[in-house]
Structures are given as C-alpha cells and as structure tokens.
Structure 1
C-alpha cells in the first residue's frame, strides 16, 4: 500500500468514526436518553438520521474530493511539475483547517438541513410526536456536536499529514532538488488554535448538558425519575470529549518540541547536517525554519573551520619539508600511506582524519634539530644520531603548546611513537608490540616505506619491490606484522592494477 493510500485511508477512517461517534454516539445518546419517545417515534428518528447521514456523506464527499485534488494529482499521476508539488505541499498543510471548514460547512449543513426538513414534515404528517421547538433545540445540538467533531478532526488530520509532508519533502529534493518549506509562514496561529480549543473543551460539554436538561424539563413529567443515571451518562460523555481533546492538544505541542530537542542533541554531538522537518503550519514552522537556518550557518562555519585547520596542518608539514628539498612531500606521502592502511583496517572517518593529521605532523619535531645535523649528507655520528632521535619528543612538546590542548591530544601518541619498533628496540620509549599506540604502529610502516623509496643526497630511492620485501622481512621485529602485511597487499594490488592498465593500453 502506498503512502498516499495509507493517508487517504486514515482520513476516511477518522472521518467515518468521528461522524458515527458524533451523530449516533453523542447526538443519539443525548437525544434518545433525554426525550421520551414512543417506539414509532424512535423508528422515525432513526430513519431521519439515516437519510440525513446519506445527504451529509454525499455533499461532504464532493467537497472532500475537491480539497484533496492537488494531493491526488501529485501522487497518482505520472507527469508532475514543480508547481504541482508546491501546491500539493501547501494543500497538505492546509488540510486540518480545510477539515474544520468542511465539518462546519457541508458536514453540518448537509446533515442539519435534511434533518430539519424531514423532522418538520414528519411532525406535520403525524409520524413524529414532538413539539416544533425541539427541532430548533436539536439544530443547536447539531452545531455543538459539529464543533466537537471539527476540533477532534483538526488534530487527527494534523497528525495524519505529517508522514505525507515528510515523504513529499524528501521526494521533492530527489526529483527536483527543491526543499519544500513554509519558510516560517503561519497558516494557523498557535494562540488562536489553543485558545479556541480550550474554550470548546470547557464550554461545549456544559452547553450540551444545559440543552439536554432544558429538553428533559420540557418533556419529563417527573424530573427526578432516573435523573442521576441520565446526568451521569451526559457528564461522562462531556468528560470523555474533554479528555480526548486535551490528549490531542498535548500531542500537537509535544511532537514538535521533542523533535527539536532531538535535533539539538544531534547538533551538540557535532552533526551539523541535520534538518528538522517543517511539518507544521503554526508558529512552530517559524521556530523550525529558524533552527534549520541556524544549523545551516553552523555547518558552513564548521566547514570553513575544518578547511582552515586542514590548511594549517598542511602548511606546517610543507614548512617542515621545505627545510630539506630532498624530503619535500615526505609528510604528505606518509599521511597518504597511513590513511590507506587505516582504511584497510576499517577505521571510521573520524579516526582516519586524526590519523591523517597525526601523520602530517609526525616529523614536526625536526624543526628543533640543527641544520648541520638534519641536512648532513654523510653518515651521522652517534651524538648526531642521538639528536635526531629526539625529534619525536620535540614534536610532542611543540604540539602541547597549541591551544586548545584537547584538540591536539589525539595526535600526540602517534607523533611520539612513530619510531618505536615492534620488538621494543625503537625510540624514544622502547615500547614493544601492542604497547605502541595504534597510530604509531601504522605511521612507522608508512614512514619507513617512503624513506626507502625516496631519493636522498647520498643514495637513490630503492625500487618498490625491494622496499616491500624489506617490510615483509621486518614483520614482527621492526613493524607491526598486521599493518606491514596490509600495506604490502595494498601496494601489490595497486601495482597489479597499473600493470593491467598498461597491458590494455598496449593492446588498444
């Protein structure tokens, strides 16, 4: 069953249930429990009610089909324009108010007018033994019952249209790249909606009770015969109406409030892509529109901040590499290789981002190494190598100076430990195995591979195959065996794909 068919079924079910409860339930109980009718009179009243209902359904059905036509056109026809979709979206928002107008117009008049005409005719021909004044009291009762029905239908329709609005908005984005919204337009004022609802909840049961009492006084010879049973029934019906209406009113307020609270929790977690659904035609529409615009501004600002931060890390890496033209691009390549390993390991995007930043800055401590040591072309002395081995600690110390401290905290373990060895013979802390932080174990593989395959003043970079063979030999001693093998597999897969492309190019 399509969402439109479910929506239509919900509207029709609410309407028929509401009509039957209002006419035969509330109206019938008030009438038959208040009037003293003979069996023939009761049969006549049932016939009048049935004919009046048939007239009401016919007239109201015609108006209902007219009201729902723009929605039906969009969901059941193949060809739709942007204007059709926008009109259907506005009509959906208007349906609760149109339901009220239909209930107080064709619904009430379509029932009342035939009922009055048939009742007058029945009294005139002697088929119904009631004074004419009862017809006008019954008409007033119809107005009160219709007001009760209209209010309940308003809130039920408000709930029924929300799935449709959500679906239509999503479909419009996919089909036309059009984000449907009222943009804060108020179709039904919250103040008027809840003021009138509270007024009806408070007054209609009292007015119906007063009307029924008036009829009972006129029709009953002894007011107190069965009075308390009758009064209790009438009062219970009034309480039931007030309770049901209050529940619907509370839900109408609770749903948008809870949705906005959930959206705010998402924003607090840093999810700036969320958008609250604009499913409301009252002041909540303005609130949701304002919230969505705020989140959009936060997302744009967050994207700018992210770009600035990424540029900051890339600039630091480039500044470091610029000290030595022979290692230019080293930090970028180590970051690329590290992210490849992290992706194969199954890291989530947030972890990969931290790994990328940590790898970009893994050698930042070399800024503190003197040029005559860092740029020396020959073999380093033990003292000079001891200075080189300080760069992970210096890098950690430099990053600790950057504020806020918590922003740099996830990067520190990888920067400090990227020269640790799996067998515990690395530096600066001599950590072994899984004692070495995750980022450090990954970056050690990437750093070693790039160092082996890059040219230096004193040697030329070795072939990829040889570097991969050295990584394979060093699994479990110098490098984490799992990450070393992952990187070897990735490189061999890349080499195989490049060979296939070359072969295809030669054949072509």
Structure 2
C-alpha cells in the first residue's frame, strides 16, 4: 500500500508542477508580459486563469481517478484471478499514453473553454479592453502549452510507473507463481515518442516566441501584408526544420533497434550465426557488442549441450548393446543405415538428426527383458518371444519418464513402431502402410538389414547380397516399398561402382 501512496503522490506532484508551470507560468507570461493593460484588467484576467484552472481540475480529476482505479485495486484488494492482475499490468504500461490523452482532452478543454467564454464576456462588458481576436491567439497558445505539458507528463509518468510495475510482477510471482509479460507487444512505439517529442521541443520555442511577438508588436490586425508574408515564410521554414530534425533523430534511433530486432528474430528461428553488424559508433555500439558476445556464449553452450546429448544417446545405445556381445554396435549401425535411407529420401537436416537419435534408442526397451530370454542361444518359446515383442512399447514407456515431458516426443513413434510391418502383421499395434510413423518405417529396414547380416550364437549372419534380396522380396509386405527400395537401389549402385573400380 505504501508503494501505491508513493506512486500517486508522485503523479499528483508531477501534475501540479506541470499545470502551474503551464497555466500560470507560460500562460501568465503571454498575458502579463505582452499585453499593455491596466492593473484592474490584469486582475480580471488573473481571475479568469484561476477560475479556468479550477474548472480544468474539476473536469480532469474524475478521469484521473478512473485511469488509476485498476492499479489501486492491485494494492487494496485481494486479487484472486491472474487474468485480472494481467489487465492491471497492461493498464500500468498504458498509463503514460492515457495521461497524454487526458491532458490533450479534458485538461485542455477544461481550461480553454471557460477561459475563452469568460474573456469574451469581459471584453463584451468592457472590463478588459483588448481585441477579441487576441482570444484566438490565446487559444492557440493554450493548445501549444497543453501539448508540451502532455509530453512532459508522458515521460514523467513513464518513470513513475517503473517501480510499481516491478511490485506488480512480484505480486504475480508470489500469489500465482506466474510471470507477467507484455509478450513483445509494442504499446507506444519509439517512432511516435521520438518524432513528436523532438518536433515539439523544436517547435515550442518558435511558436511561443511568434505568438508573444504578435501580441507585443500588435501585428494581429493583419494590416501589414508584407510582414505576414515574411513571418509566415520564417515560420514554415522553422517548423519544417523542426519536423525534419525530429525525423532524422527518430531514424537514427530506430535503425539500430530494427537491426538488433531482425538479428534476434533470426536467433529465435535457430540461427546462432546471426551476429549484429557494427554499423553504429554511439551507445548502440555497446549494445551490438553485448549482443554478439551473448550470442557467442549461447552458441558455445549450445554446441556443448549438443555434444552432451549426442554422448548421452550414444552411451545409452552402447550400454544396451553391451548386454549381448553378439549384438555389440547394433544400435550404432542401425542409426547409420537409417540416416543413409533418410538422406536418400531427402529428409531435412533436423529430421535426420531426430531419426538418428530414434534409431540409437530403438531397442532401449530391451533393458526390461530378462537376460535368460535376451541372451538365449537356442530357439525362443512362444512365451519368450512374446516377452521380446514387448520391448517397443516398453521402450516408449521408458523414454516417457524423461523430463521435461516433451524432451523425447520426437523419438517415441520410431521407438514404438520399428517392428510394425507394412502389411499390418507387425507389433505392437498392427499398424498398416503409412499408418506406421515415418521413423518406424525407416528404422524397420535398417534394423532388419543389420539383424540379418550380424552373427548370432545360433546362426551365422547372412552375406549382404542375400540380405538385400530378402529386403527386395519383402517390399510392400514386411517393409515400406519406398524406403526399402531406396536402400536396395543404393546398395546395387555401390556394388556396381566397386566392381567397375576393381575391373
């Protein structure tokens, strides 16, 4: 609650100082230093300013209360809904823009309308002896002052909300165990802030001086055409320069931000070589250098993680193969054959990587198979073979235990389905044709080829030509015809090239 009280006091202090400076300072400067009036007329106009000031506060205060009401609730009420706290968080970020609109709306009109009405009435009853056209100049001056006041309040409010934003984020973590975030939404663009801020900073003194000069020198009657032509030319050039300077300043800030944003988008897509170019010699040079150093660290960590993951998969496969000296290296060879088939099928690089890992782990379920069954040298009984047939589903179940939950999601289909047959007579799910997952169909070919060409205690491995003929005969029944065909065709091409070379 103390945080909220400090926040509101700061907002009101900023507003009070800004309003007094704008209305009594700049407004008083225009009225009391440029017009030649009697003391009584000055008192009448001072009264108009005071009445207008109270009118402005009376109109603006309810709007201000409405704008900060959701924020007050975060500190005075027991928020039970995360969505409600998220709305408060968004309101905090929108408050600078709402403040700007409030000052250009009820603030300006609450001041200007009663001031115009009262001044025209005083002129009408001859309490103030000035031309009524001066009221139009004052109205334009008030608009200029309100614009500058709105800009100053915008930035002061931006500073004031920052500790409150941190406090609301802390409340969210403690109460809901969730992070509040804008999720990259741009509520107020750098372009708008810099362009209009810089333009007003450049244009304000020019316009203020121009208005004061017109009032002081009495050129408002328009009788001197050449003067107004000259003054108009100077004003257009000055405002044009202010706008062009603001545009240049905005671009100078916007370009490096956009450059860094584009590099970040590339990194988000997985390109860790997307270094930012050192095109800037101001403070953005530090940001670019920091971004590139951070990216280099991420890249080094990513490479280390990749090596650790590769080692993890290879170690699991080697540990499994070590149970049976006759199948040593089986998982590594199956992974190699599977990648060959995937490459021939023109799978993408990330698919090939996932295929290789799936193949390395395809027999992981055999960890749960008893040695008496797995290492038996003779023919398996029906019961023992049924135990062997459980290993694909068991392998999937084992990998599902790895955290985070989605870490192994890519590899599960290949592990579970590598013993399915294309004709639907495989196991564990009797899937048929392209119902069988992609990795399962590829690994089935690679696994069968290595199994047929490897020695077993109860039989000698087949020669590769014989194994290839069996694969060819089993296309469309046991194995996917496309992937088995690619493997067979590649084998014959390599055999032909070796024969030609030997000849």
Asked if TM exceeds 0.5, the reply is: yes
Query: For residues 243 and 205 of structure 1, what CA distance do their matches in structure 2 show?
Result: 14
Query: For residues 200 and 413 of structure 2, what CA distance do their matches in structure 1 show?
Result: 67
- Scaled by the length of structure 1, what TM-score is found? 0.56
Structure 1 runs not aligned, ≥5 long: 1-193, 504-508
Q: Is the 8 A contact 2:199 2:246 kept in 1?
A: no
Matches within 5 A, 1:5-154: none
Structure 2 runs not aligned, ≥5 long: 1-193
Structure 2 counterpart of 1:389: 389
Structure 2 counterpart of 1:280: 280
Structure 2 counterpart of 1:410: 410
Q: Deviations over 1:365-384 (max 9, x none)?
A: 11111111111111111011
**Once the 2 structures are TM-superposed, how far is the Cα of residue 405 of structure 1 from its aligned partner?**
1.8
Q: Deviations over 1:433-490 (max 9, x none)?
A: 0100000000000000111111111111112111111111111100000000011112
Matches within 5 A, 1:210-221: none
Query: For residues 486 and 475 of structure 1, what CA distance do their matches in structure 2 show?
Result: 11
Structure 1 counterpart of 2:497: 497
Aligned length: 299
Query: For residues 206 and 232 of structure 2, what CA distance do their matches in structure 1 show?
Result: 13
Query: For residues 374 and 200 of structure 1, what CA distance do their matches in structure 2 show?
Result: 82
Matches within 5 A, 1:306-321: 306-321=306-321
Query: For residues 424 and 204 of structure 1, what CA distance do their matches in structure 2 show?
Result: 81
**Once the 2 structures are TM-superposed, how far is the Cα of residue 265 of structure 1 from its aligned partner?**
2.6
Structure 2 counterpart of 1:363: 363
Q: Is the 8 A contact 2:368 2:394 kept in 1?
A: yes
Q: Is the 8 A contact 1:201 1:241 kept in 2?
A: no
Structure 2 counterpart of 1:177: none
Query: For residues 306 and 300 of structure 2, what CA distance do their matches in structure 1 show?
Result: 10
Query: For residues 428 and 419 of structure 1, what CA distance do their matches in structure 2 show?
Result: 7
Structure 2 counterpart of 1:380: 380
**Once the 2 structures are TM-superposed, how far is the Cα of residue 223 of structure 1 from its aligned partner?**
8.9
Structure 2 counterpart of 1:438: 438
**Once the 2 structures are TM-superposed, how far is the Cα of residue 496 of structure 1 from its aligned partner?**
2.5
1:259 aligns with 2:259: yes
Query: For residues 447 and 199 of structure 2, what CA distance do their matches in structure 1 show?
Result: 75
Matches within 5 A, 1:443-458: 443-458=443-458
Query: For residues 267 and 406 of structure 2, what CA distance do their matches in structure 1 show?
Result: 20
**Once the 2 structures are TM-superposed, how far is the Cα of residue 199 of structure 1 from its aligned partner?**
10
Query: For residues 204 and 423 of structure 1, what CA distance do their matches in structure 2 show?
Result: 82
Q: Is the 8 A contact 1:342 1:352 kept in 2?
A: yes
Query: For residues 351 and 263 of structure 1, what CA distance do their matches in structure 2 show?
Result: 25
Structure 1 counterpart of 2:328: 328
Q: Which structure ranks higher in relative contact order (CA pairs < 8 Å, sequence separation ≥ 6)?
A: 1
Structure 2 counterpart of 1:467: 467
Matches within 5 A, 1:241-256: 241-256=241-256
Query: For residues 200 and 416 of structure 1, what CA distance do their matches in structure 2 show?
Result: 68
Q: Deviations over 1:221-263 (max 9, x none)?
A: x992422222212211111111112111111111111121222
Query: For residues 277 and 320 of structure 2, what CA distance do their matches in structure 1 show?
Result: 48
Q: Is the 8 A contact 1:389 1:428 kept in 2?
A: yes
Does the residue aligned with 2:422 lie in a helix, a strand or coil? coil
Does the residue aligned with 1:455 lie in a helix, a strand or coil? coil
Distance 1:202 1:223, change over 3 A: farther
Query: For residues 361 and 489 of structure 2, what CA distance do their matches in structure 1 show?
Result: 26
Structure 1 counterpart of 2:424: 424
Does the residue aligned with 2:410 lie in a helix, a strand or coil? helix
Q: Deviations over 1:151-170 (max 9, x none)?
A: xxxxxxxxxxxxxxxxxxxx
**Once the 2 structures are TM-superposed, how far is the Cα of residue 499 of structure 1 from its aligned partner?**
2.8
Query: For residues 225 and 455 of structure 2, what CA distance do their matches in structure 1 show?
Result: 111
Does the residue aligned with 1:398 lie in a helix, a strand or coil? helix
Q: Is the 8 A contact 1:205 1:238 kept in 2?
A: no
- Scaled by the length of structure 2, what TM-score is found? 0.56
Q: Is the 8 A contact 2:423 2:477 kept in 1?
A: yes
Query: For residues 355 and 199 of structure 2, what CA distance do their matches in structure 1 show?
Result: 62
Does the residue aligned with 2:409 lie in a helix, a strand or coil? helix
